Every structure is written in structure tokens, then in C-alpha cells.
Chain A
């Protein structure tokens, strides 16, 4: 009983529960396709039933070559022509660029196994760097450049749009739009080796005003820590060499190999959408992320003592 009720908690599935126009038109198509499939299946089943168990005239009529011409050739040709015309038109619609200057521009780079996120200005230069989360304003088209420096990944937020691959050496353009505020789960959809299964992200849609405030705040790095433990954490962060891979704006840490940590404390998740983000999980992740996400590029820091781990976690928690 509980099982059945719980099962419904997954309903409607994201593909059928669109939150914006780029997913919405596909949902309509999906329902029609499901209807078509069920109808054709029923026709075939009925014909099979007659063929196996039927009697008399109906069965005899099903027995000639004519039925192949009608049900096997003419019928599919007509149905498929209709579907094809719709499908092609919709494809054009979905790949039409947004009106000049209206879209928010971003760049997301799929990397093994996390997402580099850049907010771009009109000219295409980076306004602000982040990772594993996209914050977007409701009601505005977001045009995202998809790239990859290593292997093929695929960007997929089912409630906002279909997926598009990130192919090394190429630059693809996807458009998403959310029409209601909320958090939308996304995941890498192209097998990219090792912990591909643990390469998630989320899109958080804000009301436009709230989003504008959020962006304005984000343009400057958070204030340097004042509390002693956090300050010590900041020193340890640099001393342990974290800055070789991670960047924290306003500090000497300027590595680009791993996620930008300027605002890491404000993120919902750790490890690319897989763990809740708080001091405890941060300590676990830094201490031995290999136990959590085997194969990921961050080495375990077993040399750090508990106090040191906590200090770094406190420091990072404050980057918000």
C-alpha cells in the first residue's frame, strides 16, 4: 500500500511536467505520440485477436493482401506524414534563436565529472563564475553555450528542455526557460566514464527582481572571514595547496582545474549535485572524496587533522 502511494510521488515525471516553453511543446508532442502508439498497438492487438481466435467474415477479410496495403502501407504513410510535418515544424521552432538582446547568456562546460558555469555579458565575456548550479530568472530565455574540454557530456534538465551534448572541440547552443520559480534537477546524460552516474546539477529559477539582486551580490566576492577558526581555515586552504585547482575570488587561490569556490557556501549541493552542502559533508568530501565519488579528480586529504578539516570547512561554509 505504502509502495503504491510512494510510487505516485514520482508522478508526473519531469518530461511530462514541463516548467517552460522549450519543454512544454515537447510534452504536448509526447502525449500525442503516446496516444498514437497506444491506438496503433490496440489496432494490431485487435487484428491479431481476430487472426488467432476470430471467426467468419471479419477473419476472412483480414486474410488478403489488401489488408497489407491498407493497414501496413497506406495507414502508416498517412500517419507518419502528419507526424513528420509536425515534428519538423517543432524542430524549427525549438531551434529558433531568441530575439536579439533578450536572452540571458551563459556558458556551461561539462567536465569530468562536474559542471563549470559562467554567466556571460552581451559580448560573451565572463561576468561571474560558478559551478554545478545555474541561477536563472523566471520568464526569460537563457541561451547556454555548451562546451567540454575532455570527453562528451550531455546537458539535460528534463523540465526545462531536451538534452544537448557537449562535444570537445565544438560549441553547441541550447535554450532553456523556466516560467515558474523552483529548483529543477539536471544530470549528465551521455556516459562520460567513471562516476558518470554522480554528475548532477540543478537549475534554480528566481523571480526576476530577486534574481537581479542575487546577481548584483554575486558580482563581488563575499567578505573575508572575521572569526578566528574561519581565518585559520582560509590560511590552511592556501597552505594545503587547494588554490592550485580552485579559485576563490579576492584571495590568492586562483586554480581553474576544479570548481570555482568563491561562493561555495551558497551552493545547495556538494560533489556535483550528490550531497547536501553543510560543514559535515564538506569535511567528509575534503577528507576523502574518493570514498564518496570514486574516480573523481580530487585527491583525498588524509594528512589534514580533524581540527584542520573543520577549519577549512568553516571557512568554505562562509563563502556565501
Chain B
């Protein structure tokens, strides 16, 4: 099947106006003139209807999941905020006894962990789920069940994780969990395991969301919405998701390694046995610093959108803002070691980490002045969202300036780990994320609520929060310069720290009062609805303000500008009347239009899955798996894990079905296929992203191996004899070859003995064989994982490979099962394609891993 629906005289060259061969002239057919058939809208509504009653739990529509998601994230914000208030009471005066030492240590660990992992990242991801489809005029995100799964795993897991506090089992090693403090020798309880395994599902959830967002932004934009016309928020979320894909694997590998050290005594971080505590710091901060921008960029994207709407003028410097987002996405990966200026690194490395830390502030400056320029160009209205946007901007600039200060190495040596840093990071995060988030609440609430939030209360909320914020954190700069280190549960009177601390505590309560008042506003005015919303109160120009239902816009407009609602007169009515793409349902299923990544040219119609209970169940079992392992209930933990896998397979079973008719009219006589395979499908993109995640985890394991080699290499033992490489590489290479062959075989079915599906099982089997030989050769060589850092990292790589081999086997069996039920279409099939891709990748990864750990120590 061709993916080019209507050719405009062959595929264009890169210099052409068309990316896929779609003729842009066709856009001129819209808006259409003819009457829409009776009952079309009712049919659309029926198809997209959300389940009612308790079945709402099975809903997958982004309106519902997005709202739940935002709500849950905000709940964790409140919980972590309460912890902060109690801590502030403890620190109000020296030698207070409100919280005992151990409880305080748990409180600050949980405050940081919950704010970062359970509030900030999920909150911005939630906003993506909620707002992106509408902004892009997609019917929903490309994998609605995946977002439902991500949400439920996060909610169930997050609540259980938080509950550990009530049993005194909460982690107490600080949110960055430095070993050896967090290894079994110094943290024998299960508190640290709660952190390590508890964070596991947050990582899964974040990565699931990132896949969703990347594919959503690149593949489901409204036709004509080229890269240059994308709402800034979509750009921000694209960079955000890309950063998650690169950054999270570092913390995934780190947490796995530390858990392996704790549970199985593999000494990744133990300096007495060839590990190194600083390896953790590198892994953690390679994730941890980008994390800050992962939180900030989406919020900055929203600010860019709001500034333009509130000033009623197009964003000034759109291209520069995109530049800033992209540059931040990259450079933020070059600053991780500025959290480690005081660990005693070579001063040359310190130098260029300092330089990168400076460089990353330039994009922030670009955005700030772009916002100011936009406000100057237009007529900014003085309402609550404006207050929050401007207030947040001031706070963020202050945090950014102290950020430049601590990027200066000599100053950082003084400020590092003191209250100056506490002040700095709260300024950045509150100004960069929390205030924009509140602006977002006020700005976009009318999109989902019957009534907008109150302007009168909102102003009180703002001023209380703004004043409280400064009163809390401004004095902390001084407290830090006075020598108060962070993470102290109390301090002695003779240090003269009480005045500034008392001010900070007072401020915290003012800030808290503002947030309390916001809850009052929500309770009084927020009434969730998907139909009769308050609408475009602030006059936004982007597509989320089109008339909306659960199906998003009635018809999907052709976009010719960055602010279509301002520049394309009549667009709202035309959309509402169904005069654009896909005014109803073309196949009787849920569906969305898949477009090309650069120019958003229509490619095909994707059938979307509806409500299902399986994402919910698999999420519950996933969370169960991690939490049961934490409390050392291994048997039911593993059972829970198996159940989670079964539920995922069950949910996937219903997807990837060929539907009739094969080509449909998506409006104005333009026909697209309903089933395609290959590089333009959303599944292909998702698999590529997933493989990048796996590759990054692999690279992190390799990095750890090389890093420890650099420190302890002289005492490393020699690898297994080279002849072992032959069967290992044969197994891995054979798997890749067989997998690629399977894809070719699919077109021509021969016999059941060597059907394409059987071939795939052979491929996975060969892979497993190669892996088994690999593992065996290391065991035979006498190196054990407990013996040294070399053992830990080598077996870490082998274990990682073992995990993907396991998935490959599962995958092959799953495809065979689909095949036996006649669900594998010929000559091409998406599920089949993705399985071959996965197995082929596994073979390559295995070969590289096997080669490096055998050859490297010998060569250097």
C-alpha cells in the first residue's frame, strides 16, 4: 500500500514544497461548501462517547486522563508542600523538637522526591496529554491506552510510595540518594529500596508519556501545520519528550545498579571492591540536571503561548524561542557535573562544565526577552494569568541569576550544598514551573470547566503566593552565605541563623495560604465538562480554542498560520460545521489523521483503540510488582509482574487490526488508506523511540564499565578466551539476520514449518542462545558479579541484554499467537514489522556489548 494518498507529480525533493508528494493545492478545497449528511455528528459523538459510572476508570480519552493526571500531580504537590511546611516549623528556631531527626530526614527526602518525580514531571506530562491533542487538532493522542496506563501506574504507585512515610519506611537518603550512604552498609532498612523501586514506575510512566508525546507532535498535527507553524507548546513538549528519552535511561540504569548492589551485593559503587561512589553521581546528575529543564521547558512553552494570547499579538521571536528550546535540550546535557564541582574532579573538566553551565543560560535569556518584547508589542491585559506569568518571570530571572553565580566554580565551592542553593533551586523551579502552572490553571481552566476561575480570588492567590515565595526564599540566600548547610534537621543557636530562618518559615505559611485559597477557588468555580465549556475567555489564537467535544474538534482544519483563530476568519464555524478534514467518522471506529513530521501532510487514517480495562489492570500490577519487591514479598511480586505482562499483551491484542474499507474519503474527495505499514506509521515511530531508550540504558551500562575501568582497570581480570566470541556473535548476528529475513518472508507464505512467524521464533531463539553462551563464558571465566566493579558492570550489561532477550522471546511468541488467529496481515503487518525491528536491534546490541567487554581491557 502506498502511503502517498494523492501524488503531486511524484515525491518532491527536499527543496520542494511537499514532503510526501501530497499536493498542497488540495488544501484549497477547504472549507467545503456542501451540506454535511444528517446524523454524522451524532455518529461521531457515539464513537467517542466516554464510559459512564465506575467504567469511567476504563476511559482513555485524553480529556479525562489528562484531567485526572493534572489532578493527581496537583495532589502530590499539596502533599509534598505540607511536608515542607512541617519542616519549616522545625527550622523556625534553633533546636526545635517538632520533628525528630530521623523523621526530618525522611521528610526532606520525600519532599524533594515527590516534588520532582511525582509532581513536576507528571504535571507537565499531564498538561501535554490534556492540551496537545486539542492544540494540534488531533482526535486524541496516538496511543490513548498508553497514556491511561502511564497515568494509573503513576497514581497507584505514587500513592503507595507516599504512604511509606506513615510507616516510618520512607527513604531518608536525600532525593539524590548518594551511595555509600544509601547502600546496605549504611542504610540496612528497606527505606532506600522504596526510593529505588518506587521511582521505577515513575520512570516507566514518564517514558510511556514521552513516546506518546513525540509521536503525537510529529505525526498527528492538523494538515498544513508545518514545523514553522507549530504552537510553541508543541515544540516545547517535543524537546521535553526527547530529553526524557535521553535522560531517564541514566537514572533507570543507576537505580537498577544501586538496587543490584543492595539486593545482590554487586559492587557498582563500593570503592573497596572496585566500584566508585562518584559513578552514581555522574549517572544521577546526567539525568538530574536535564530533569530541571525537562520541568522548565514545557512550562516555558505554555508561558510563550499565554504571553502571546494575553498581549493579543503573535509571539515576537518565534524562531528564536524554538532555537532556545532546541539549544536548551542539548546543552542541558552538558552541565550535569556542576552539581559535582566540590567532589574533586580534574580542574579542566570543571572548567568546561562551568562553560556549558553559562551557555545554557543564553537560551533562557532569549525566552525572557522574547516574552517581554511580546508584552511590549501587544496590549497586555492585567488579569490573573498575566499576573502569574509576569510574577513567574521575575522569580525565574532571579533564580537564573543566582544560577549564573553558582556556575562560577569558585563561588560554587562556597554556595554548594548550602541554603544558597536551596534558595536558587526553589526560585528556578517555582518561577520556572509553579507560577507558569498556576497561570496555566487560570488560563486553560475555561477549556474544561463550565465556569472560569475567579479573577478576584485569583489576584489574592497570586499576591499571597508571590509575597510568600519571596519571604520564604529570599532570606535563604543570606542563610546560605552565613554558612548553613542544607539537609540539617536543626542548628545551634550560636550560628546566628534564626532570624532568616524565622522569616523563611513565616513566608512558607503565606505561600501556603495562597495555595489554600486557590483550592477554594477550584472548589467554588471548577466544574468539569467536555461540552458546554466557558470557552475562550482570554482570546487565545490556537486550535485548542476551537469548539470542542470528547473527539476534540468536529473537523480537522487546514492550518495556514501560527494563530489560526486570529488569522483564518470563520475557522471556528467551519470546523464546527464539519467543513474540513474528517467531519465524522470514516470507518465507524475511533480514528485520527496521521500526518507527515515536517509539513504535516495527511498520510493515512489511524484507527484508535477505545476504553479498556486492561491498561488499568496492567498499571495496578506493574505498581504491585515494584512495591511488592520492595517489601520483599518476592513470590507475589513476581506473580504481579507476570499478570502485568499478560494484561499488556491482552490490551495489545485488540490493536493493529485491518479495517474495511481500505481507503476512505477524509473530506473533499481526498482519499487515504486506513492501514499502512513501514516508516510512516505511528507504531514505527514509537518503536524507534523505545529502541533509543533501550540503547541509552545500554550506553549508560557501557559508560559505567569504562568509567570503572578508568579507575580500577589495572586490577581487572582478563575476559573469557576469545574463541567464545564466535558462538556469541554467531547467535546475536544470526538473530538479526533471521529477523530481517522474517520480514521478507512475510509477503510469501510457504509452509507452516517455516512460516514467517516461526522464523521470528527461530530468530528470538538464536538470540537467546547467543546470550546463554555469553553468560556461560563469563561464569566459566571465574568472574562473579559480586567480586568487583568489573564483575558488576559486565554482568550488568549481560543482565540488560538478558532483559531484552526475554522481551524478544515474548514478542516472538505473541506474534506467533496473532498469526495463528489470522491477525497478521499480508504482505505487510505493523506488529510483525515492529517485532523484527526489535529482535534485529537486540542482536546488534548484544554483539556490541560482547565485543566491548572482551576487547577493551586488552587493547588499551
Contact = CB atoms under 8 A, between A and B. Distances in A.
B365 interface: yes
A150 interface: yes
Given A30-B411, A197-B488, A7 B370 contact: no
Interface stretch (B329-337, B393-401, B445-453, B714-722): B393-401
Interface in A183-231: 185, 187-198, 200
Interface stretch (B160-168, B494-502, B830-838): B494-502
Nearest to B185: A150
A167 B278 contact: yes
Interface stretch (B229-237, B479-487, B597-605): B479-487
Interface string A52-89: 10100001101111011001110111001001101110
Interface stretch (A36-44, A235-243, A312-320): A36-44
B344 A164 contact: yes
Interface stretch (B6-14, B51-59, B98-106, B210-218): B98-106
Interface string B549-590: 000000000000000000000000000000000000000000
A213 B536 CA distance: 81
Interface in B185-235: 185-187
Given A41-B398, A65-B317, A83-B404, A164 B342 contact: yes
A191 B408 contact: no
Interface stretch (A12-20, A249-257, A281-289, A302-310): A12-20
B370 A91 contact: no
B74 interface: no
Given A52-B380, A156-B483, A191 B174 contact: yes
Interface in A3-57: 3, 6-7, 9-10, 13-16, 23, 25-26, 29-30, 33-34, 36-37, 40-41, 44-45, 47-48, 50-52, 54
A162 B376 contact: no
Nearest to B711: A169
Given A15-B414, A63-B377, A187-B483, A72 B369 contact: yes
Interface in B374-400: 374-377, 380, 382, 390, 393-394, 397-398
Contacts of A54: 376
Given A37-B404, A167-B278, A76 B414 contact: no
Contacts of B414: 15, 23, 26, 30, 158, 162-163
A172 interface: yes
Contacts, number: 265
What does DSSP make chain A's interface, helix, strand, loop or mixed?
Answer: helix
B487 A191 contact: yes
A215 to B, nearest CB: 28
B388 to A, nearest CB: 14
B507 to A, nearest CB: 16
Contacts of B367: 72
B180 A76 contact: no
B413 A162 contact: yes
B173 A167 contact: no
A68 B271 contact: no
A187 B410 contact: no
Given A72-B370, A76-B365, A191-B486, A52 B317 contact: no
A197 B380 contact: no
A16 B344 contact: no
B101 A51 contact: no
B232 to A, nearest CB: 14
B726 interface: no
B278 A170 contact: yes
Contacts of A156: 417, 483, 485
B750 interface: no
B460 interface: no
Contacts of B390: 48, 52
A129 interface: no
B373 A154 contact: no
B487 A196 contact: yes
Interface in A245-276: 274
Interface stretch (B40-48, B353-361, B610-618): B353-361
A165 interface: yes
Interface string A85-112: 0111011101100000000000000001
Interface string B403-440: 01101111111111110000000000000000000000
Given A52-B375, A151-B180, A294 B343 contact: no
A167 B340 CA distance: 11
A51 B500 CA distance: 34
A16 B370 contact: no
Nearest to A33: B405
Interface in A133-185: 146, 150-152, 154, 156, 158, 161-165, 167-170, 172-173, 185
Nearest to B271: A169
B491 interface: yes
Contacts of B351: 88, 91
B358 A80 contact: yes
Nearest to A47: B372
Contacts of A173: 344
B482 A10 contact: yes
A94 B714 CA distance: 32
Contacts of A80: 358-359, 361-362, 404
A3 B356 CA distance: 43
A40 B370 CA distance: 16
Contacts of B416: 162-163, 189
A143 to B, nearest CB: 14
Contacts of A189: 342, 416-418, 485
Interface in B467-487: 478, 480-483, 485-487
B490 interface: yes
A40 B400 CA distance: 11
A161 B411 CA distance: 10
Given A48-B393, A80-B361, A91-B347, A162 B342 contact: yes
B368 A44 contact: yes
Contacts of A23: 414
A193 B491 CA distance: 15
A55 B511 CA distance: 33
A3 B293 CA distance: 40
Given A48-B375, A80-B358, A295-B102, A193 B173 contact: yes
Contact of B372 (A10, A51, A165): A51
Given A68-B317, A274-B492, A50 B376 contact: yes
B784 interface: no
B27 interface: no
Interface in B261-302: 271-272, 276-278
B350 interface: yes
Given A15-B481, A162-B413, A196 B393 contact: no
B342 A165 contact: yes
B320 interface: yes
A184 to B, nearest CB: 10
Highest count of chain B CB atoms <10 Å: which of A16, A163, A294? A163
Interface centre among B366, B369, B382, B412 (most CB of A within 10 A): B369
Contacts of B393: 44, 48
A26 B486 contact: no
A80 B495 CA distance: 35
A91 B345 CA distance: 12
Nearest to A83: B408
Contacts of A191: 173-174, 178, 181, 417, 486-487
30 contacts: A10-B495, A10-B499, A15-B415, A15-B483, A36-B401, A37-B404, A37-B405, A48-B372, A48-B375, A62-B373, A63-B374, A65-B320, A68-B370, A87-B354, A87-B410, A88-B354, A91-B409, A94-B410, A158-B483, A162-B342, A162-B410, A162-B412, A162-B416, A164-B344, A170-B278, A172-B343, A172-B344, A173-B344, A192-B181, A193-B172
Given A152-B181, A163-B342, A169-B277, 13 more contacts: A10-B482, A10-B500, A47-B372, A48-B372, A71-B365, A75-B365, A80-B361, A80-B362, A151-B178, A170-B278, A188-B485, A191-B173, A294-B101
**Nearest 4 CB-CB pairings of A with B:** A169-B271, A162-B413, A10-B496, A72-B369
